[in-house]
Amino acid sequence: MDRVRIGNGCGFWGDNLDAPARLARTGRLHYLTLEYLAELTMSILALIKAKDANAGYATDFIDVLHSLAPTLREQPHLKIVTNAGGMNPHACARAAQAALAKAGLTKRIAVVSGDDLYPRLDELFAAGHALNHLDNGAPLSTIRDKVVSANAYLGAKPIAEALKLGAEIVITGRVADASLTVGPAAHEFGWGFGESDLDRLAAGTVAGHLIECGAQATGGLWVNADATTRLEDVGYPIAEIAADGTFTVSKPANTGGAVNVETVAEQLLYEVGDPARYFTPDVVADFTTVKLSQLGADVVGVTGGTANGLTDTYKVSVSYRDGFASAGTLVITGPNAVAKARASGAIILEKLKAAGFAFAHSYVEVIGAGDVVPGVLPKAEPPSVSFDPATRPFSAGRAGSNETDFPKEVVMRVAVRDPRKAAVERFTKEFAPLVTSGFAGTTGYTVGRPPVREVFAYWPALIAKSAVAPKVEVL
């Protein structure tokens, strides 16, 4: 194979369900990758698996497989690489097999596992792997009883091995997002994982990084997108990679979106720290050596992308229980919408305090007044007018002064976080009363009490590669 075409049809669990089939149908792909696991997705999947041994994977993938069945029939050589396995890749593989059988298809499925360190935590601690917090150095043992999941980010090597064993669908647990792309490229071109192939792995990592978030490479979130960008029909990204690691980014013909040096440059730096050192299990990639060039309409050429070494550690993503949270909203219309909204938020928290519930963390936002980036943007209120409810009346009636009808309306959002579930549950019952006991212009209580969710905090750590054993099994 001269060039391998790898398309990513899913950037996160929750992405568009039709995108994978649309991409595969016309993308002339060799590989379709599907990425489902955000940093904290594993905590939710771990709890699901604890309740049901056959669950704990990204169930959207099974729906996507149904939608892909006609394409898989027409394109028997199309292969799929996905981290949909989540906390239970074996169960995911069984479900995938069943879904394919239902569609009259048989595929060789491989499972990549070994990333799940949770069952091994005590053994790892005993062997001296403290899993210290990457930012503050605290050992994981300090929160051991709260830990819900602990997964190493595996690399491309087990994916390449699975493909070498003839797998047509590779289902993994936690792997580095870019490795979903590096694995197929390494397999097709015989790249090794040692010193001599590091630059190619780095180039492949750039490709994987650029397409891993789906439409973010093809016009999604592009600062200069407008109605003519046709995001309603956005095409998902394709990396066409050559044996030397050079590649193009494009999208299927006759789709919306845009692939240009702006969309690609924005994505190159997305969620990056030091661009000269982008750490993956496969290589430390230097993004500052990447060169972008517009080769044609919606085709960007990417060269460069070099290695900056290789680490002997895997990153580990740990999640742990950290109390409960909830957030509710009401809509407040003007006049004086902003002032009334701030006062309404204060009323909710005051009432709860009077009922005996002071919260460890609480937060009032007035959406429409600039609070989403709090304190940074110029205020929506005319600066000459004070809206301090303590010193100025702000009613909508005759007693009002300094009235303003800008903005016309706002969303008041109040959020709390607390170790006590009962306190957070009580919080959720304090929104509806304002529909009758709050200010004139209060509405928007239509979806009922807001849900209480368990909070899972994120604990990043490193572990020696020698302590982790990636496992490849063909079903």
Give dist(CA 362, CA 446) in Å, integer: 23
Residue whose structure tokens are 């299990």: 281
> Judged by CB under 8 A, which of 223, 227, 399, 447 binds another protein?
223
Under a CB-based contact definition with an 8 Å cutoff, are residues 259 and 251 in contact? yes
Give, as ranges, the residues between 129 and 148 that touch another protein (CB under 8 A): 135
Site for another protein in 73-102 (CB under 8 A): none
Q: Which is nearer to another protein, 113 or 280 (CB)?
A: 280
Q: Judged by CB, which is closer to another protein: 36, or 189?
A: 36
Q: Which of 221, 380, 396, 464 binds another protein (CB under 8 A)?
A: 221
Residue 95 is encoded by which pair of tokens? 């479900």
- The residue count for the chain: 475
327 binds another protein (CB under 8 A): yes
* Cα 158 from Cα 335, distance rounded (Å): 61
The sign one gets for the Cα dihedral 224, 227, 231, 233 is negative
Tell me the C-alpha distance between 139 and 91, whole Å: 32
90 vs 209 by CB, closer to another protein: 209
Nearer to another protein, 155 or 368 (CB): 368
Identify the residue among 121, 242, 243, 261 touching another protein (CB under 8 A).
261
5 near another protein, judged by CB under 8 A? no
Q: Whole-angstrom Cα distance, residue 342 to residue 418? A: 21
Closest CB to another protein among residues 431, 456? 456
Give bridge partners of residue 4 from the DSSP assignment: 241
Interface with another protein (CB under 8 A), residue total 55
Cα–Cα nearest to 49, from 39, 40, 60, 58: 58
* Per CB under 8 A, 362 contacts another protein: yes
Q: What is the DSSP letter of 324?
A: E
Window 280 to 299, contacts with another protein (CB under 8 A): 287-292
Binding another protein (rule: CB under 8 A), the pick from 197, 413, 426, 442 is 413
Q: Which stretch binds another protein (CB under 8 A): 54-62, 191-199, 221-229, 335-343?
A: 221-229
CA pseudo-torsion sign 37, 81, 93, 99 = positive
If binding is defined by CB under 8 A, does position 272 make contact with another protein? Answer: yes
Half-sphere exposure of 110 (CA within 13 A, CB side): 22
244 or 274: CB nearest another protein: 274
Q: How far is the CB of 371 from another protein (least distance, A)?
A: 8
Buried b / exposed e along 126-154 (16+ C-beta atoms within 10 A): eeebebbbeeeeeebeebeeebbbbbbbb
Choose the stretch contacting another protein; rule: CB under 8 A; options: 1-9, 55-63, 150-158, 320-328. 320-328
- For another protein, which residue of 250, 267, 344, 404 counts as binding (CB under 8 A)? 267
48 is an interface residue for another protein by CB under 8 A: no
CA 418 – CA 359 distance, rounded (Å):
6
Give whichever of 376 and 390 is closer to another protein, judged by the CB atom. 376
Contacts with 391 (C-beta within 8 Å, 6 or more apart), sequence order? none
Q: Which residues bind another protein (CB under 8 A)?
A: 38-40, 43, 135, 216, 221-224, 261-262, 265-276, 287-292, 304, 322, 325, 327, 361-363, 365, 367, 371-377, 413, 415-417, 455-458, 460
